[in-house]
Every structure is written in structure tokens, then in C-alpha cells.
Amino acid sequence: MTGPRSSTPEVISLGNLLVEIMRVQLDQPLNRPGEFVGPYPSGDAVIYIDTVARLGHSGGYIGAVGPDDFGRCLLDRLTQDGVDCSGIRVLEGHTTGVAFVAYFGDGSRKFIFHWRHAAAGQLAPDFVQPDYFRNARWLHLSGCNLAVSEAAREAGLKALRCLPAGARVSFDPNIRPEVLSVDEIRDLVEPVVRRADLIVPSLGEAAMLTGASTDEAGCRMWARQGKLVVLKQGAAGCRVFHGQEDFHMPAFPAVEVDPTGAGDSFSAAFSAALLEGMELRAVARFANAVGALAVGKKGPMEGAPTRREVTDFLARHAT
């Protein structure tokens, strides 16, 4: 059984489908009794594709949920926001993936994932149907999803092979030490890095994946290979590396309620703006605006803005 079908989308992503259940207060460890709030629709690539749709582009997702209320929570939200769910399977005998998260006063987070043996962990190459990609202009993959299992990695690689000529690929390393070691992830994602047109690392990831001494040096290594590289810097904004070009785009002021998912919404905005042919500095500014809005609500996907909200935000911050 799958979600409802629509025309094949221009932007596609695949991987885990999770609900997130989070601690209500800061500094409540996950090994002690305490209050939680949720479920919230989540998953890095899920947040990405939902933001793409909310920004006005046709997006589709490939993955799996269980035949339970958490699965319905995800499908309802994606359908409401205009994401094509025909590539999402509802798997009997598997429950929907869950991520438990605690936040700490120093800005760190701790996750406990239930996905490898849940529906989210069952992604395999047969989920990826070549016909689904016939109108694709963009594919987004993340290292976290490729690391779930060998079958999930093969599904991602098959998706690369299904892309029509001219389609572009973005890659978010999203290294999760809870899933695999850095060395294992480096080897696992190498084919995707090689194919990627756009790489959007968070702080620390470019250095880890390239072996460079700093993130900036790692980003320049990728840029010399012809990649467009965008280093996500959170409240500091982003730094863009493209050929010989290297510039910083400062962040917009924002009231941070929940940072989870903001980087995924940022990546989605960068992809969408590139598809629209915006000039590179305008792309970075647009993506920073989406990131600023994304942190403003509790829940990893709740702050993902509509196009009108972004337009209004940028108008208020016009220079």
C-alpha cells in the first residue's frame, strides 16, 4: 500500500520517515523519567522535501511508514503541504520510525533513534522506480539515510542512476555518530559526493569527510572539484564556495525556539532558489531567510515557511 499518487515531481528525496518526540525542558537526559511532547513529523530528508513543497515546487518522497497513527501523522502532514506521497509505502508488520530527543543548555542535543528495524529502515532498491524520475530536475540525499543499511545505500545509488540528463543532485552529509562512525560514513557516501552538484555540510562535516584541517579547507577541496559548497553556520549564516568565489552571507536575526530541522529547510530553500535561476548571493540570502523562519516554532518541521511568509520576511528585512 502506498500514499496517494500525483504527477511525477521535479524534486525528489528519499530515506527515513520519523516522528520526533522531544523533552519539554532543557537539560532533561533521556535516561531519567521526564515529560515529552510530540509526535512531530520529522526526518532530515522529509523536512527538506516538505519545505520544497511549501516554497512552491513539486516534491516527492520515497520511503516507508507503518500502518499506525504515527505513520498517518506523517502522511497527513506531507499531503497537506503538497508533497507527492505515491513513493511512500505503508508496511504491514512494521511500526513507524521514532526519534527521541533531549536539548541541553549548551546548545547540544542527544537522540535515540528507532528506525533501523522500523518501517523507516526497510528502504531498499525496489522502492526506487525509474518512471518516478522522468520529470526530476533535482535529487536530494543525506548521509544519515545512506547509513541506515546497505539496502538504503543501494536505494540512494539507484536513484542517482534513474535521474534524467541534466538533473542535479544535492548532498547533506548529516553525520550521525549514533548510526555509524565517521570513517564508515566517509567510505559509504563517496559515490554520492562524487556525483553531487551541491554539498551542504554543517560545521565540522567538511573537515571530517575530506580529511582537511578545517571546514573551509575541506569546502575548497570540493569546490576545486566543481562542486557548489555551502557551509551551514547556524546563527552566523552560511559561507558559499563556488569555483574561485568564496563569500559569507550573514544570518537574519531570529528568535530560536527549536533549531532541529532548520538546516534541512535551509538546504531545501537553496535547491529551490537554484532551480529558479536566482543569482548565487540572492540564493544564499533566500536560504538564510528560510532558516531564520524555521527555528521559530517548536517541532522540526513546524517552522518550515510558505513562499508568502519568506517573501514578507525578506521585504521586512530589505536593505
Q: Give the CATH number, domain containing residue 190.
A: 3.40.1190.20
Q: Do the domain assignments include residue 6?
A: no
**What total number of domains does the chain contain?**
1
Whether 172 is covered by a domain: the verdict is: yes
From the list 124, 74, 116, 133, the residue with the least C-alpha distance to 300 is 74
Q: What is the residue whose three cell numbers read 499531503?
A: 79
Does residue 5 lie in a domain region? no
Q: How many CB atoms lie within 10 A of CB 254?
A: 19
Alpha-carbon distance of 8 to 13, in angstroms, equals 12
Range of the structural domain that residue 107 is part of: 11-307
User: Alpha-carbon distance 124 to 118, whole Å?
Assistant: 13
Q: One-letter amino acid identity for 165?
A: A
273 domain-assigned: yes
Q: Which letter, b or e, does each residue of 271-296 get, where b requires 16 or more Cβ atoms within 10 Å of its Cβ?
A: bbbbbeebebeebbbbbbbbbbbbbe
Do the domain assignments include residue 147?
Answer: yes
Angle at alpha carbon of residue 219, lines to 319 and 228, rounded to 5°: 65
Would you say residue 286 lies in a domain? yes
Query: Tens digit of pLDDT per residue, the chain (319 long)?
Result: 444 445 689 999 999 999 999 999 989 999 999 999 999 999 999 999 999 999 999 999 999 999 999 999 999 999 999 999 999 999 999 999 999 999 898 878 888 889 889 999 999 999 999 999 999 999 999 998 898 889 999 999 999 999 999 999 999 998 766 566 777 888 888 999 999 999 999 999 999 999 999 999 999 999 999 999 999 999 999 999 999 899 999 999 998 888 888 999 999 999 999 999 999 999 999 999 999 999 999 889 999 999 999 999 999 998 6
* pLDDT score for 9: 95
- Confirm whether 253 is domain-assigned: yes
**Which pLDDT score, from 0 to 100, does residue 111 have?**
87
pLDDT at 32: 92
Cα–Cα distance measured from residue 298 to residue 171, given in angstroms and rounded to the nearest whole number: 26
DSSP 163-185: PPTT-EEEEE----TTTS-HHHH
| Cα pseudo-dihedral 204, 207, 213, 219, rounded to 10 | -110
Residues 245 and 280: beta-carbon distance below 8 Å: yes
Residue 3 domain-assigned (yes or no): no
- 208 phi, psi to nearest 5 deg: -65, -40
Please give the model's pTM, rounded to 2 decimal places. 0.93
